[in-house]
Amino acid sequence: MRKVLITCAITGAETTRQHNPNLPLTPHEIADAAVDAREAGASILHLHVRDVEGNPTQSPEVYRQTMELVRAKTDIVIEVTTGGASWMSLDERMLPLSLDPEMASLDCGTMNFGDETIVNTLPMIRQCAAEMKARNIRPTIEVFDLSHIDASVRIMEEKLIEEPLHYGIILNVPGGVRYDVSTLDFFARRLPAGAKWTVAGIGGRASVPSILSALAMGGNIRVGFEDNVYYEKGVLAASNGQLVERAARLVADAGFSPATPDDVRAMLKIYK
């Protein structure tokens, strides 16, 4: 039976309690939300953390504390962000890699992100990919634009990224490429042969349609408050777990099953 990876992006850098009062912020809240997400069917936790004021931080201490709490309670695969927040330097963004997580996100290009810009020059992408390779961390190669796919292929030819490949196709960021099924299909077909991919449709309007598309097209799914705070139009989600629960239900309705964390470790050859 086909196994579908469900990633839960629990907190992100941009979402606030004003967007959804149920947003987990502290290490304990994030760990509890990770347990809920795992129990609902998620196999990968895409992890951002916040400081005591609730602002995004890449502090290894906060990551360490959060990762220890998560690992004490659940076997979910932890993927730390190296995107961080738009104002952070690359060195700051890369700090959580020092904790040797199983996975990390690798942003493969520069783009508009809302009213801000995310900067990832080729030398920055190389530096980040090389650090992950040296630490045996499996990247999720994040692509928000076709040029990011081409940049990733260039980095791959330089042997900085190795198979098995896992892409995150992130669509509908304000200022970025919109989500629709033909755009997702075009992105998926432009990936290197054999690559696995996970779609994240940003915002309430793209979330469920992107799940359905991924199920039909052979892809995997990302949900969570980083990407979308609504359960349905005008109704805030009660928790990350509620969003995962629906994703897992759609996976089951399609005749597939949610992958377990150990399935992910085997599929993506994560050795830690």
Binding residues vs Zn ion (CB under 5 A): 81
- 20 or 81: CB nearest Zn ion: 81
Q: How many residues make up the chain in this entry?
A: 272
d(CA 132, CA 158): 14
**Quick one: 81 or 152, whose CB is closer to Zn ion?**
81
Non-local CB neighbours of 70 within 8 Å, separated by 6+ positions: 30, 31, 34, 35, 45, 47, 76, 78
Which CB atom, from 161 or from 173, has the smaller least distance to Zn ion?
A: 173
3-state SS string for 11-25: CCCCCCCCCCCCCCC
108: tokens are 């493969």
Q: Which is nearer to Zn ion, 78 or 185 (CB)?
A: 78
CB nearer to Zn ion: pick between 137 and 182: 137
Q: How far is the CB of 200 from Zn ion (least distance, A)?
A: 9
Minimum distance from CB of 217 to Zn ion (Å)?
23
Q: Which two tokens stand for residue 15?
A: 């979402």
Residue nearest to Zn ion (CB): 81
Nearest distance from C-beta of residue 65 to Zn ion, angstroms: 19
Residue number, 17 or 249, with CB nearest to Zn ion:
17
Could you tell me the CA-to-CA distances from 59 to 25, 52, 65, 77 in Å, in that order?
A: 14, 11, 10, 20
Least separation in angstroms between CB 46 and Zn ion = 6
CB of 25 to Zn ion, least distance (A): 15
Nearest to 8 by CA among 35, 40, 39, 44: 44
Closest separation between CB of residue 178 and Zn ion, Å?
Answer: 19
How far is the C-alpha of 154 from the C-alpha of 114, rounded, in Å? Answer: 27
Distance between CA atoms of residues 231 and 235, nearest Å: 6
